[in-house]
Amino acid sequence: MKPNLEHYRTIVGDGVIEEIYKKAKFLKGKHILHINSTYQGGGVAEMLNSFVPLMNSIGINLGWRILHGTPDFFTITKKFHHALQGDKINLTKIKKQIYEEINEIFSTYTHIDHDVVVIHDPQPLPLIKFYKKRQPWIWRCHLDVSNPNPEILDFLKEYIARYDLLIVSDEKYKIKDIAVEQRVVRPAIDPLSPKNKEISKDVISKYLKKFGIKTDKPLITQVARFDKWKDPLGVIDIFKIVKKEVDCRLVLCGSKAADDPESEEIYNKVMSKAKKLVENGDVKLITTENHILVNSLQRSSAVIVQKSIREGFGLAVTEALWKGKPVVASNVGGIPIQIKDGINGFLVEPHDTEGFAEKIIEILQKPELAKEMGKNGKEIVRNKFLITKLISDHLDILNSVCNF
């Protein structure tokens, strides 16, 4: 089915749809280009998969290109990612050289003659240096940069300063001491995508059976990359405590993105730690990039967990809330924007293993509480974090930078 804004009218209402058409009126025929580093795996790629065709459906010529990098490049940019979220980094001359060279090579065979260019995250950030800038350039940073490593930030400021606008996911992510205008735009999910659309019980049963997921006991699930910032090892510790009080199962479902060279290493560590639990069927680890499976899994879970240590926003939380599920998550990054403690889930400090377990047990033992939280969560997402809101926010930005 070809994406069409009209398909969302019954979900968000006439007023939202008409306002989008109104905002798009003066942008028809404009050519907008988005560039990131992966087509699948992670929230950025998922958003663009829905966002790009919907923007085209309302008359805006929006293109999407993927930066082509080497394994060394992605290893380096992963370290940059960690450093922007507070880690230490050994920022050597060779790292800087490879980072720039891959972007320069990409620029030699990627022609940009669009009206606006939008660059996502650190990987393609230097591209602006290798073009004769004739249009507004926007850097969209999806990371939690509230407490970045000063060394990496000082290095990247050379590129950031060339941009006309910086978009972040929350006020606390705005970068200090930089002369570039900064605005806040919340990420969003597509309620009609395979991962989020309504699916039948038969489809759910089919996919769970296909991947060997049993539902004879309550399911606790975390959907997240096998990434140290998502702390899957910590989720295993939480499950061990919960299991002593409530007989249940745990599923860790995480994709392996092409631009994340560390995911295999983290996965192996989790498998090693949870080996006995995996063998007896209490823990299931899944790495398949299958959106219908994720949809089925979230809809079948009693509790969704998001034990992030850092989190730019946390679209897996948004997805779970949309499906009417209570979420127990870390009180970090963009998660508190979505979860109101005690209303649609619980917020816990990221290293409080006992606290996580206590809240999960409470939800498992109080089905009426779980139902009420799920109802509240769905409405919060409907009002604030659907793709139509993201489109509307971007149209506001495009109208302003195109000088209408």
Interval 256-279: pLDDT, tens: 555 567 888 899 999 999 999 999
Of residues 64, 63, 42, 57, the one with CA closest to residue 8: 57
Token pair of 401 as six digits: 């930078």
Q: Which domains does the chain have, with CATH numbers?
A: 5-188+386-401 (3.40.50.2000), 201-384 (3.40.50.2000)
Structure confidence at residue 43 (pLDDT): 80
How far does CA 35 lie from the centroid of its chain? Answer: 16
Residues of the chain falling short of pLDDT 50: 404
Q: What is the pLDDT of residues 223-249, one digit of tens each?
A: 998 988 999 999 999 999 999 999 999
* Paired tokens of 85: 């979220």
pLDDT digits (tens, 9 = 90+) for 177-191: 899 999 999 999 999
- What per-residue confidence (pLDDT) applies to 394? 97
pLDDT of residue 256: 59
Quick one: pLDDT at residue 92?
A: 96
Over residues 325-372, the pLDDT tens digits come to 999 999 999 999 999 999 999 999 999 999 999 999 999 999 999 999
Full-model pTM: 0.91
pLDDT at 347: 98
